[in-house]
A and B are shown apart, each in its own frame.
Chain A
Amino acid sequence: DVKVTQSSRYLVKRTGEKVFLECVQDMDHENMFWYRQDPGLGLRLIYFSYDVKMKEKGDIPEGYSVSREKKERFSLILESASTNQTSMYLCASIGTEHQPQHFGDGTRLSIL
C-alpha cells in the first residue's frame, strides 16, 4: 500500500525561523505536491515537482521554497516564517494519471 509520510503532525515555530517540512513517499512516484489548507479556502497549491531537482510554482509560492534531491523526498521550506503561514500543510504524490493520488496525514504548523 502506498504511503506518504509527513515528518510531523504538529509543529510550533517562531517568526523569523527557517522551517522545514518533510514528505516521503514509498511508491517511486514522479509527481509530488505541497498544499496548504485553510478553512474556507480549500487546498491551495504551493509547489509541485515532477522529477528529481525539478520544481514548479503553484498558486501561492511566495514565502516558500522546495527541495527534491531524491525521488522519494519532497521538502517544503519556509525561509523566514511569518504568522500568516500558520496553516495545515498537506503533501501528496501521484505516479501516472491512471493511479490515484495519495496524501499524507498533514502537518499542523503554528507560527508564533
Chain B
Amino acid sequence: AQTVTQSQPEMSVQEAETVTLSCTYDTSENNYYLFWYKQPPSRQMILVIRQEAYKQQNATENRFSVNFQKAAKSFSLKISDSQLGDTAMYFCAFMKHVNSGAGSYQLTFGKGTKLSVIP
C-alpha cells in the first residue's frame, strides 16, 4: 500500500510571507500523480495543485508551487505571499492506477497540515 507522510501537523505564517509544507510518499510505482488539497473550515475539499510524476517540471498555480523530487519521493508545497484565506488544512495525496480495471484509480491522503496565516 502507498503511504503519504506529512511531518508537520501544524504551521503558521505571517501574512504576505512564504511558507513551505512538506510531503513525502512511498511507492514502487513509476507512473502516478500527486496533489495538494486545501480544506478550509467550511469543510469543502478543494484541489490546489497537481503534478504528474512523468513531468520533470514543477507545477505552478499562481501563488502555489511545488518542489517535486521524484528520486527522493518528496513533494512540497510553497505558498507565496500568504493570505488570510489560505488558512486551512492542507492534504498531500497520491494517486495511481489500480489493476481492478481500465481507468480505475486509488487515491491516498496524508494526515494533513493545519496552516494558520497570522495577520
- Bound: A103/B35 CA distance, A: 14
Taking the complex as formed, is B75 at the interface, i.e. its CB lies under 8 A from any CB of chain A?
Answer: no
Contact (Cβ within 8 A) A90 B106: no
The 9 closest A-B pairs by CB, nearest first: A50-B104, A42-B111, A103-B45, A43-B109, A100-B47, A42-B112, A50-B101, A42-B109, A106-B43
Chain B residue total in the interface (Cβ 8 A): 26
- B1: chain A residues at CB < 8 Å are 59
Chain B nearest CB from A76 CB (Å) reads 16
Residues of B within 8 A of A84 (CB): none
| Residue A74, interface by CB 8 Å | no
Q: Do residues B33 and A97 form an inter-chain contact, with CB atoms below 8 A?
A: yes
A100 to B107 alpha-carbon distance, docked (Å): 12
- Pick from B97, B106, B111: contact of A48, CB under 8 Å: B106
Query: What 0/1 readout, one digit per residue, does chain B (102-119) give for beta carbons within 8 Å of chain A?
Result: 011111111110000000
Q: Could you list which residues of chain B lie within 8 angstroms of chain A, going by C-beta atoms?
A: 1, 6, 9, 33, 35, 43-45, 47, 50, 91, 95, 97-98, 100-101, 103-112
Number of contacting residues on A, CB 8 A? 28
Q: Which of B98, B103, B109 contacts A35 (CB 8 A)?
A: B109
B115 to chain A, nearest CB (A): 14
Assess whether A30 is in contact with B104, with CB atoms less than 8 Å apart: yes
Complex Cα spacing A6 to B54, Å: 34
CA distance A43 to B93 in the complex (A): 10
Compute how far the CA of A30 lies from the CA of B45 in the bound complex, rounded to whole angstroms.
20
- In the complex, the answer to whether B101 meets A54 with C-beta atoms within 8 Å is yes
Partner of A96, one of B44, B103, B106, B112: B103
